[in-house]
Amino acid sequence: MSINAQLKGNQQQDAYLENRGRLLVKCPDKPGIVSILSTFLHTHHSNIIESSQYSSNPENGTFFIRIAYHCEGLNEKAIQMEKDFEQIAAVHNMEFSFHYPKESTRSAIFVSKEPHCLMELLWEWQNGDLDTDIVVVISNHEYARPFVEALGIPYYFIPTNKDIRKQVEAEQIRLMEEYNVDLLILARYMQILTSEFVDHFENRIINIHHSFLPAFIGAGPYERAYERGVKLIGATSHYVTNNLDEGPIIEQDVERVDHRDNVGELKKIGRTIERRVLAKAVKWHLENRIIVEGNKTIVFH
């Protein structure tokens, strides 16, 4: 592809996103909510192009909806639309958020020794299938530096242990602020985060855990799975909370195994599951397809 053709393609993509918005709403369920939302968008000359909804219970339940819409001149209208919607939200007790695809999310990736999840994310990003700016990678090992810096992404080696954890996390938070990071992705970052760190980024840290939670929480899940003789192994991607490996689950997947698979083979199979599960979870977050409800998630695929 010529440089001119590539520039033209980028300009077309920018124009495509310029007038696209997404609206996420959570509120008490009652008749007419969809009509209220569609009327609001129609009043602001917006066309609904995708809509997904869910009710926890049609009688006194909670209603969740994600709407993607097109609105000519959205850049000039967005602030007024959000202000107008505040009045509707107040009347109907709605929690809501507007999102704009043209405003790319800025992501940081944390990684330790095993680079397979990091490499999957970098591949998806290079391919244009991960709609984010990967602005920095942080690791407590040097192993992944060549892969990352070859792509022009800053790489920070910050060794850590329990005795210096507070100083390390202070530096990590400083870097997150310096790079204006929206999303933190733990791509097999094998360090426990303190509550002070997690509280800085509520529902903005996505982790991949190498087991099908809630089974085998904590370290060494493949070893424990082998000892238990399981017939399925899996991986779980979830938001990080202050309860270890118990945050809201975004995505899970499994593969069948049997008695012939030793620990090393389980880990090899598991790495493939981990890669795809984390990539899916990150994509859905970036596309604003997730609403957190308590310790659960509503995911609009």
pLDDT tens-digit readout, 90-113? 999 999 999 999 999 999 999 999
pLDDT at 213: 75
Which tokens hold the place of 294?
């308590």
Residue tagged active-site, from 129, 245, 258, 261: 245
pLDDT digits (tens, 9 = 90+) for 135-186: 999 999 999 999 999 999 999 999 988 889 899 999 999 999 999 999 999 9
261 in Cβ contact with 269 (< 8 Å): yes
| Residue 4 pLDDT exceeds 60 | no
pLDDT at 33: 97
Distance CA 114, CA 187 (A): 9
| Residue 3 pLDDT exceeds 50 | no
Q: Please work out, in degrees rounded to the nearest 5, the angle formed at the alpha carbon of residue 201 by the alpha carbons of 83 and 145.
A: 125
Average pLDDT for residues 227-246, to the nearest whole number?
90
Phi-psi region of 9 (alpha: psi -120 to 50; beta: other; left: phi over 0): alpha
List the one residue out of 293, 292, 287 whose CA is nearest residue 301: 287
List the one residue out of 130, 132, 133, 136 whose CA is nearest residue 179: 136
Q: For residue 4, what are the contacts with CB-CB under 8 A and spacing of at least 6? A: none
The terminus-to-terminus CA distance of the chain in angstroms comes to: 32
pLDDT at 241: 94
pLDDT digits (tens, 9 = 90+) for 15-63: 678 999 999 999 999 999 999 999 999 999 999 999 999 999 988 899 9
Q: For residue 144, what are the contacts with CB-CB under 8 A and spacing of at least 6? A: 111, 115, 118, 137, 155
69 in Cβ contact with 41 (< 8 Å): yes
Strand 132-139 to 105-111 pairing: parallel
240 in Cβ contact with 186 (< 8 Å): yes
Q: How many helices (H) and strands (E) does the chain have?
A: 9, 13
3-state secondary structure of 6: helix
- Give the model's confidence band at 13: pLDDT under 50 very low, under 70 low, under 90 confident, else very high: low
Which tokens hold the place of 53?
């909804």
94 in Cβ contact with 27 (< 8 Å): yes
* Known catalytic residue at 245: yes
Which tokens hold the place of 71?
């609105």
| Residue 224 pLDDT exceeds 60 | yes
| Residue 8 pLDDT exceeds 70 | no
SS (H, E, C) 98-133: EECCCCCEEEEEEECCCCHHHHHHHHHHHCCCCCEE
